C-alpha cells in the first residue's frame, strides 16, 4: 500500500503528528533533481497502541448465580495493538489464560472477585510491555433453593461484638436463623469450608466467613483479621 500525503509534497520533511493508528503504511518520497525525477525506497511505518480499558462481560460489577448454572466470562479491550494476551485472576490469583473464562457449572467455590489483565508487548523485540486491568467483578454463587421468595437470611453472630474482629480476642462465630439447627454449612473466603453441622466455633484462622442452613440464604460476610498492622491506642487513665 502506498500512502500519499496531500499538502506535504513540497517539503523535505514529513511530520506525523499527532500520531494516529491509521498512519501505519509504506511511505516514499519523490525528488526532482535537475531534469530527472528520483523515487526513494519505501519506509514502513507501523503505529503500535498500548492496551487500555479492559472490561469483563457480563458488565455488571456484581453477578449472582445458582450452583449448577453455566458461567462464561469474556474479557476485551477498547484499544490495543495485536497480539493481546489475557490473564484471569480469581481473588487475586492467576487461574486461566485467554479472552474467555469458562467456569462451567459453578459451585459455591467459584464465588469471589474476578479480574482480567490484558497485555501487549510493543517496540522492537517486544521490549515494552503494557497492561490494562479490568474492574473487579464480584461473583456470588448461591446454593439451589436459596433464592425462593420469602426465604429467611441467616445471621452470623460475632463474639466479642466489637469490630474489627481479631484472632487475639478469641473470636466465636455462631450461625443463627430459622433453618434447621445443627445443619449448618460454613464458607471461608468464598469456598466451602466445613460441613460439620456445628452452629458455633472458635475462629483460629483469619479470613472472611459465611454460613447457611437448609431453607435460608447465606449470611452476610464476617471478616476476621490476624491483627497484623493494627494500631492499638494506649489506655488513658484519668
pLDDT digits (tens, 9 = 90+) for 78-136: 888 888 999 999 988 899 999 999 998 888 888 888 999 999 988 766 678 899 999 88
Given this model, what pLDDT does residue 149 score? Answer: 42
- Tally the C-alpha atoms within 13 A of residue 188's C-alpha that lie toward its C-beta: 11
What gap in Å lies between CA 90 and CA 112, rounded to an integer?
A: 7
Instruction: Delimit the domains of the chain by residue range.
Output: 1-47, 52-142, 152-225
| DSSP assignment of 113-170 | EEEEEEEEEESGGG-EEEEEEPPPEEEEEE-TTTT-TTPEEPEEEEES--SSEEGGG-
154's grid cell: 441467616
Q: What is the pLDDT of residue 97?
A: 93
CATH superfamily of the 152-225 domain: Immunoglobulins (2.60.40.10)
Query: How far apart are the C-alpha atoms of 63 and 72, rounded to whole Å?
Result: 12
Q: Find the angle CA(114)-CA(119)-CA(122) to the nearest 5 degrees.
A: 170
pLDDT of residue 65: 83
Is the pTM higher than 0.85? The answer reads no
DSSP assignment of 44-80:
EE------EEEEEES--SEEEEETT-EEEEEEEEEE-
Question: Which residue stretches of the chain have pLDDT < 70?
Answer: 1-11, 59-62, 124-126, 144-153, 163, 178-182, 194-197, 215, 227-238
**pLDDT for 13:** 81
HSE toward the beta carbon, residue 70, CA cutoff 13 A: 2
Which CATH code, of 1.10.167.10, 2.60.40.10, 3.40.640.10, 2.170.270.10, is assigned to 52-142? 2.60.40.10
Cell representation of residue 75: 474479557
What is residue 234's predicted lDDT score, i.e. its pLDDT? 38
Same fold, 52-142 and 152-225: yes
Please calculate the CA angle 229-235-238 and round it to the nearest 5 degrees: 160
pLDDT recorded at residue 115: 92
Can you tell me the distance from the alpha carbon of 31 to that of 9, in angstroms, rounded to the nearest whole number?
9
Amino acid at each position: 500500500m502506498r500512502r500519499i500525503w496531500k499538502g506535504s509534497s513540497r517539503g523535505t520533511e514529513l511530520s506525523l503528528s499527532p500520531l494516529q493508528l491509521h498512519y501505519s503504511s509504506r511511505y516514499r518520497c519523490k525528488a526532482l533533481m535537475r531534469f530527472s525525477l528520483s523515487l526513494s525506497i519505501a519506509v514502513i511505518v507501523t503505529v503500535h497502541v498500548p492496551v487500555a480499558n479492559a472490561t469483563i462481560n457480563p458488565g455488571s460489577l456484581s453477578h449472582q448465580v445458582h450452583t449448577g448454572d453455566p458461567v462464561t466470562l469474556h474479557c476485551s479491550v477498547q484499544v490495543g495493538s495485536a497480539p493481546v494476551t489475557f490473564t484471569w485472576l480469581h481473588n487475586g490469583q492467576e487461574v486461566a489464560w485467554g479472552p474467555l473464562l469458562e467456569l462451567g457449572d459453578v459451585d459455591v467455590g467459584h464465588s469471589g472477585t474476578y479480574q482480567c489483565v490484558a497485555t501487549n508487548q510493543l517496540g522492537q523485540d517486544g521490549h515494552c510491555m503494557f497492561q490494562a486491568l479490568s474492574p473487579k467483578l464480584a461473583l456470588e454463587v448461591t446454593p439451589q433453593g436459596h433464592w425462593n421468595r420469602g426465604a429467611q437470611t441467616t445471621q452470623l453472630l460475632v463474639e466479642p461484638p466489637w469490630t474489627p474482629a481479631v484472632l487475639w480476642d478469641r473470636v466465636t462465630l455462631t450461625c443463627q436463623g430459622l433453618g434447621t439447627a445443627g445443619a449448618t454449612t460454613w464458607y471461608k473466603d468464598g469456598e466451602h469450608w466445613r460441613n460439620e453441622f456445628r452452629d458455633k466455633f472458635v475462629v483460629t484462622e483469619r479470613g472472611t466467613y459465611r454460613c447457611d442452613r437448609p431453607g435460608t440464604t447465606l449470611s452476610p460476610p464476617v471478616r476476621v483479621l490476624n491483627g497484623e498492622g493494627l494500631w492499638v491506642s494506649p489506655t488513658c487513665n484519668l
